[in-house]
């Protein structure tokens, strides 16, 4: 089903007439074919990383992550409740931000990864980070933290040495890929601006994107997906799809017409399914929701790629 959906998404893009309707400053000049090639290479990289993670964790005692979730019926109720809550959080982020004249609050700040020509206020950036932190991390953790242990939520390590090995290897490989292949503009910043900008970027994205995703999707939803589906593969895909759905308000999406909306959904999946999958896989293989934070989120890609964006918003010199 996943492969069929991936193929149909490509067919939609290939058969549409005209150029893509998205404002992607970071991809300026790239044609549709080049974007699709880049999309598939990114997915291939994720699958290779997943293979490496499997090899690094092959000697660990099998983790029964499903046992951390409640019995099946309650897991189903909690899963649907969480998905409804997440949708309500997106709706609230849309209404609040638009009422203040800002971009809708999704898991990514407007301009993340792809850049933007729009102006962002500093207040918008701070409000985005705090809104996501409260809605997707503080409130869910307060509710489930009273009912489940930190181990059941994947917030404690069962093998610190192997967790550190996985973090080190994946972070090194992803950083190498970002620097060599994508050549982020961060490396062109003056050293002083780079240090201050990277520190601020790390904090803002940790609060606004990394911790919300870690708590809501990987600490709470992943064990329930595994309990409900009984399949590790389905769990990894569900985690990837939820992660993609939380980015529906990305500033580049265009939802003004059926064609543009369909293309936006296709590219949301193309862009975020792979990263959501590797984060889910890291959580399943280690049983530790923190691993993906340091291995494949907080530093690379966000701090590495988005530092120039934050430097521009906060006018650092």
Complete DSSP assignment for 206-271 = IIIIIHHHIIIIIIIIHHHHHHHH--HHHHHHHHHHHHHHTTTT-TT---SSHHHHHHHHHHHHHH
Using alpha carbons, select from 9, 43, 50 the residue that is nearest to residue 233: 50
Angle, helices 191-205/304-313, rounded to nearest 10 degrees? 100
Could you tell me the sign of the dihedral formed by the alpha carbons of 86, 91, 96, 98, in that order?
positive
Could you tell me the sign of the dihedral formed by the alpha carbons of 116, 121, 126, 128, in that order?
negative
Going residue by residue through the chain, which has 317 residues, state the pLDDT in tens, using 9 for 90 and above: 999 999 999 999 988 876 788 989 888 777 888 889 999 999 999 999 999 999 999 999 878 999 999 999 999 999 999 999 999 999 999 999 999 999 999 999 999 988 888 889 999 999 999 999 999 999 999 999 999 999 999 999 999 999 999 999 999 999 999 898 888 889 899 999 999 999 999 999 999 999 999 999 999 999 999 999 999 999 999 999 999 999 999 999 998 889 999 999 999 999 999 999 999 999 999 999 999 999 999 999 999 999 999 999 999 98
CB count within 10 Å of CB 107 equals 28
CA separation for the pair 208, 202 (Å, rounded): 10
Alpha helix stretches (DSSP H) within 71-146: 72-99, 122-132, 139-145
CA separation for the pair 239, 202 (Å, rounded): 23
Q: Contact, 50 vs 278, CB < 8 A?
A: yes
Exposure letters 46-79 (e unless 16+ CB within 10 A, then b): beebbeebeebbeeeeebebbebbbeeeebeebb
Could you tell me the sign of the dihedral formed by the alpha carbons of 166, 169, 175, 178, in that order?
negative
Q: Whole-angstrom distance between the N-terminal and C-terminal Cα of the chain? A: 49
CA angle (204, 126, 130) in 5-degree steps: 80
């Amino acid at each position: 089903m996943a492969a069929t959906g991936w193929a149909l998404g490509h067919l939609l893009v290939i058969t549409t007439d005209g150029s893509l309707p998205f404002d992607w400053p970071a991809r300026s000049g790239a044609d549709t074919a080049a974007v699709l090639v880049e999309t598939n290479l990114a997915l291939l990289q994720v699958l290779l990383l997943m293979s490496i993670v499997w090899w690094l964790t092959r000697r660990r005692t099998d983790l029964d992550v499903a046992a951390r979730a409640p019995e099946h019926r309650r897991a189903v109720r909690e899963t649907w409740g969480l998905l409804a809550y997440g949708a309500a959080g997106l709706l609230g982020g849309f209404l609040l931000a638009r009422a203040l004249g800002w971009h809708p609050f999704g898991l990514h700040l407007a301009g993340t990864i792809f850049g933007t020509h729009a102006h962002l206020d500093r207040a918008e950036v701070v409000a985005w980070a705090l809104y996501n932190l409260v809605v997707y991390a503080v409130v869910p953790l307060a509710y489930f933290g009273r009912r489940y242990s930190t181990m059941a939520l994947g917030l404690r390590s069962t093998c610190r040495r192997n967790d550190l090995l996985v973090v080190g290897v994946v972070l090194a490989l992803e950083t190498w890929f970002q620097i060599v292949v994508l050549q982020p503009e961060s490396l062109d910043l003056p050293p002083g601006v780079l240090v201050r900008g990277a520190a601020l970027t790390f904090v803002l994205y940790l609060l606004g994107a990394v911790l919300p995703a870690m708590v809501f999707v990987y600490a709470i939803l992943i064990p329930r997906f595994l309990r409900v589906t009984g399949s590790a593969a389905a769990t990894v895909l569900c985690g990837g799809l939820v992660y993609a759905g939380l980015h529906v308000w990305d500033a580049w999406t265009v939802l003004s017409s059926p064609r543009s909306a369909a293309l936006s959904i296709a590219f949301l999946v193309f862009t975020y399914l792979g990263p959501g999958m590797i984060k889910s896989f890291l959580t399943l293989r280690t049983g530790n929701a923190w691993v993906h934070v340091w291995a494949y989120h907080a530093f690379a890609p966000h701090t590495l790629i988005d530092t120039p964006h934050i430097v521009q918003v906060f006018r650092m010199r």
